[in-house]
A and B are shown apart, each in its own frame.
Chain A
Amino acid sequence: MEILIPTINLESIYPEILITVFAILVLLLQVFTSLPGRKQLGYISLTGIVLASIIVLTQGGAFGENTALPIYSFSNLWVVDNFSRFFKLIILIGTGLTVLISIKYLKDEGIDHGEYYSLILFTTIGMMIMAGGSDLITIFLGIELMSISLYVLTGYTRKRLLSNESSLKYFLLGSFATCFLLYGISLLYGATGTTNLKGISGFISDANFGSPVLIIGMVLLLIGFGFKVASVPFHMWTPDVYEGAPAPITAFMSASPKAAAFAAFLRVFIEALPSLQGVWVDIIWVLAAMTMTAGNVIALVQDNVKRMLAYSSIAHAGYILVAFISTDKSGIASILYYMLAYTFMNIGAFAIVIIIGGKGEEKVHVKDYTGLGYRYPLTAAAMTLFLLSLTGIPPTAGFMGKLYLFSAAIKSGYVGLVTIAVLNSVISLYYYLKIIVAMYLKEPELDVAHDSLVFSPAMVIALIIAVCGVLLVGIFPSPYIAMAQQSYISF
């Protein structure tokens, strides 16, 4: 038997290689304590992220209708197309912002080790693999790399009980969900004889195949991905993990890994299983409605801001699922656009949670925000902007994002689901307003001594980027919409 050596196209994984190099470099710099740059590991990681973003941007030419893409490589295990590039950019933006908001937090908590950044970078590689994998095996590899790094990161403040608890919970439930995913993959393989996404879709349509094995495999995959994007009823882990994890990691988890999970989710279901659309569309319809409603309703009664934002992130996954079922291609574009908007507004909101939280994350309750509008007007204004954007009030990125998501769904005729979604936005207004009420409408209690907040330069930069992102993507959305629209061409 002749052994074929697959064509290796290293160029197509340059960004991933670069991040890997930086991840190992950061680790080594930490180990060899005398090396220069030991104190600046955060900024070194950031350099890697920025360089990787530049490579992603230039890979295969600028965004646009270029014929060079998609490039398949490694025996069709890997693909570089606009879809994966867009998601990688979102992931890298999320990671970059996370690094910026982590720097001071780590010093305050006394856990300023290189491993932290290294793990974040490994998570990033995992996520990028999820976005670029065109084979169930590659995607699974990415998911595992991402998840395992995240399990460690959630428990990173190892002296805090909550953090340990959340890490263990995440690990147990996460592994459980991974089993579903693997089982689903193996059933799909059993039914179609391939793990390649295009291969699966080709097989199903060739054979006009509707075997129960295939359906079960698909449902199991749906459960696995449902867990990763935290959709109801697979969301149980989210609040506890989000609450217990170090705040920058919570910010990170609610943005980048969610984007990566949606990237893989979309690619698998739209590229490999379009023939089963009739089945999964109905399931996701129900999931979307439940996810939005449960997320928002439970968020109403939360007093802990971190937990509230955890439920809000569940609700946002629900909004995204609304566009998921839109069989129209604008559905995919709208999800891409929304993830971009969501990354800015959500990490921005969490950045302020970190600032207010202070040492040991003790001030994470709504009452800790009382009077912030008068003591720190700019910070409060930024928080207000993020919260209004999360609600979907114009002229913010969140509004344009929702407009896009919902219009894609209406285009495909899901008026009922969109009505549920907009009513959910009204519910969400209430709990987002709770924070705004505390910041502006309640008088600060005079007898409580307020510690003054500390703003590190990195944090300020992160906030400025987030604010600009929310406003730019919201007020001048054309270029980003154009990019998102270019991204579904490969399908």
Chain B
Amino acid sequence: MNYQNLPILSIVTFFPLIGIFIIFFIRKDNYRLIQRIAFITAVIDFILSVPLYFSFDSSQWKMQFIENIPWIEQFGIYYSMGIDGISLPLVLLTTFLSVIAILSTWTAVTEKVKGYMISLLFLETGMIGVFCALDFILFYIFWEVMLVPMYFIIGIWGGPRRLYAAIKFFLYTMFGSSLMLVAILVLYFINHAQTGVYSFSIPQFFGMNLSMNLQFWLFLAFFIAFGIKVPIFPFHTWLPDAHVEAPTAGSVILAGVLLKMGTYGFLRISLPMLPQASMNFIPFISVLGIIGVIYGAMVSLAQDDIKKLVAYSSVSHLGLCMLGMFAMNTAGIQGSILQMVNHGLSTGALFLMVGIIYEQRHTRLISEYGGLWKVIPVFTIIFLLVAFSSMGVPGLNGFVSEILILIGAFKRNIWFGAIVTVGLILDTVYLLWMFQRVVLGEITKDENRHLKDMNKRELLCLLPIILFIVWIGVYPRPFLNKMQVSVEHLIEQVKFNNTITEGEKREAHFSYGNFNTDD
């Protein structure tokens, strides 16, 4: 295929930099132009990424669209990119949400627009890079690089406590990733000792022969790194701060994509590289996941700030995501990946909705609203749809992933499934209760009588999300199909390593490690 010869992943990853380059030369007070260029850049990048979906061959688990160029040969570091069925949906989610995020800031951010747009585009490059990188160092670089623009987005354009939130976000993530770096280096030298090759190539590390003890420590290091990012229950405290203080677009990206980097890390690195440890950690992580679901929901119930409520609901949804992933079966993992996408869509949309009313009233307190349905009916309908999607009402996207995860969890352990099902009821409660207090009832505050309904631009932001919310809810097959084979292969990798003897293992996986020569 002609398309295969283009370094399409690099183009998609680095295209936003072209936008940055152009914006760099525009005077900073001409912010309309800056916004337009940023928007156009993001749209083109999205259009560029769409063919990935169509030319992705879902019948095989191998990495596709591979690029492999020597970068730092002395260390065996390659500029190596490629995606499989697990990363494909996340890449598309990133390019999609970036467009929405940029469009949503049209009127929300009018100060220092130049820096803002540069940060957002830079962030996009970093995020896509994380999902495409097949070299550990490249992965780590993208992982770290995107911290800087996100830090600035929260810290410069954020709310009143933005300083605290930004620094906390940066320190937490850096703490996790520094441990990850140690783990990566340890793996690197063990791999060298075993194969005699210096390589940071991620597939090279799959199915390595590691002692149980070592796997435990490495898993722990990666667990802290990814767990902070997800965030898994005890590491979640940075998230509400970051979400509440971040501007709308920042929250959308943060919830939509950034958190997925953590869950993606588990799928791409922890599970296939440290299979035995992953199996041993199943009860531990599942329990943390369930605690996350219930705790997130309970704390959400108590919030008066809508944004904080949505932030805690993220903790809840991602707990579910972890539970599904560590069910270690096809339904669970597929559900988990789909949940990542769904959470990105519905939570992103919720943040956008909050942003729309916040822009007019400058408050996010639930008690300040009430009876909005009379004033802004279009908003109400979309808000209802989005809330339904988030709570997993059948026919919308959230239902599909939740049911898959539940199936997976029940298969793994009937108690996990049972408890989390009860926990999910809470999800419905806090969202419906919030909806009721904000939108239904009588108008209690006079300020709310003159709210403007959604304008065309805001509709343009939300309608594409609604489209996917319904589409995935009604007909999820095209989305699930693309990941099916990759997920099955992943599970095979984990199971395989837990059953066979050491010697056969390396041989069986050798073809995977050599992906760059036979493709």
Contacts and interface: CB of A to CB of B under 8 A. Distances in A.
Contacts of A423: 175, 178
Contacts of A415: 182, 186
Contact of B148 (A388, A426, A478, A481): A388
B284 interface: no
Nearest to B140: A394
B144 A394 contact: yes
B174 A441 contact: no
A422 B167 contact: no
A399 interface: yes
Q: How large is the interface on A (under 10, 10 to 19, 20 to 34, 35 or more residues)?
A: 20 to 34
Interface string A294-332: 000000000000000000000000000000000000000
Contacts of A411: 189
Given A403-B137, A407-B75, A407-B185, A395 B167 contact: no
Nearest to B180: A422
A419 B170 CA distance: 19
A406 B137 CA distance: 13
Interface string B176-205: 001101100110110000000000000000
A279 interface: no
Given A393-B147, A394-B141, A411-B189, A485 B74 contact: yes
Contacts of A441: 155-156, 162-163, 166
B174 A426 contact: yes
Interface in A393-444: 393-395, 399, 403-404, 406-407, 410-411, 415, 418-419, 422-423, 425-426, 429-430, 433, 437, 440-442
A429 B147 CA distance: 12
Nearest to B189: A411
A395 B145 contact: yes
A31 interface: no
Interface in A452-491: 477-478, 481-482, 485
A143 to B, nearest CB: 32
Nearest to B138: A394
Interface of B, secondary structure class, is helix
B158 to A, nearest CB: 9
A191 to B, nearest CB: 37
B416 interface: no
Given A393-B147, A399-B144, A478 B74 contact: yes
A391 B188 CA distance: 23
B446 interface: no
Nearest to B163: A441
Contacts of A399: 141, 144
B73 interface: yes
Contacts of B179: 419, 422
Given A440-B152, A440-B156, A429 B181 contact: no
A418 B181 CA distance: 10
Interface of A, secondary structure class, is helix
Contact of A410 (B137, B148, B166, B189): B189
A181 B309 CA distance: 64
Given A399-B144, A429-B170, A440-B152, A410 B162 contact: no
B163 A477 contact: no
Nearest to A391: B174
B500 interface: no
**Which of B71, B141, B188 has the most chain A CB atoms closer than 10 A to its own CB?**
B141
A422 B182 contact: yes
A238 to B, nearest CB: 25
Contact of B185 (A395, A418, A437, A442): A418
Interface in B267-303: none
A388 B140 CA distance: 15
A419 B141 contact: no
B171 A426 contact: yes
Interface string B313-338: 00000000000000000000000000
Contacts of B147: 393
B1 interface: no
A404 B152 CA distance: 28
Nearest to B74: A481
A406 B145 contact: no
Given A393-B144, A394-B144, A478-B72, A437 B181 contact: no
B74 A437 contact: no
Contacts of A418: 182, 185
Given A388-B148, A406-B185, A441-B163, A426 B73 contact: no
Interface in B372-388: none
**Which of A395, A410, A430, A477 has the most chain B CB atoms closer than 10 A to its own CB?**
A410
A429 B168 CA distance: 11
A320 to B, nearest CB: 17
Contacts of A437: 155, 163, 167
A406 B181 contact: yes
B424 to A, nearest CB: 36
B214 to A, nearest CB: 10
A429 B186 CA distance: 23
Interface in B133-152: 137, 140-141, 144-145, 147-148, 152
Nearest to A407: B185
Nearest to B166: A441
Interface in A351-409: 374, 388, 393-395, 399, 403-404, 406-407
**Which of B72, B152, B174, B179 has the most chain A CB atoms closer than 10 A to its own CB?**
B174
Contact of A407 (B162, B167, B175, B188): B188
Given A394-B140, A477-B72, A478-B73, A406 B182 contact: yes
B178 A426 contact: yes
B245 to A, nearest CB: 11
B194 to A, nearest CB: 14
Contacts of A440: 152, 155-156
B178 A422 contact: yes
B170 A433 contact: yes
Nearest to A481: B74
Contacts of A388: 148
Nearest to A422: B178
A410 B156 contact: no
Contacts of A406: 181-182, 185
A382 to B, nearest CB: 14
Interface string B52-79: 0000000000000000000111110000
Contact of B182 (A394, A410, A477, A482): A410
B171 A430 contact: yes
Nearest to A388: B148
A422 B175 CA distance: 8
Given A441-B156, A477-B72, A410 B174 contact: no
A419 to B, nearest CB: 6
Given A415-B182, A485-B74, A393 B148 contact: yes
B459 to A, nearest CB: 34
Contacts of B181: 403, 406, 422
A433 B186 CA distance: 29
A441 B144 CA distance: 20
Contacts of A485: 74
A429 B173 CA distance: 11
Interface string B83-108: 00000000000000000000000000
A98 B416 CA distance: 64
B145 A433 contact: no
A425 B141 contact: no
A477 to B, nearest CB: 6
29 contacts: A393-B148, A394-B140, A394-B141, A394-B144, A395-B145, A399-B144, A406-B181, A406-B182, A407-B188, A410-B189, A415-B182, A419-B182, A422-B181, A423-B175, A425-B174, A426-B178, A429-B170, A430-B171, A437-B167, A440-B152, A441-B155, A441-B162, A441-B166, A442-B163, A477-B72, A478-B71, A478-B73, A481-B72, A482-B74
Given A410-B189, A430-B171, 10 more contacts: A394-B140, A403-B137, A411-B189, A415-B182, A419-B182, A425-B174, A425-B178, A441-B156, A441-B163, A478-B71
Nearest 4 A/B pairs, CB to CB: A422-B178, A394-B141, A441-B155, A410-B185
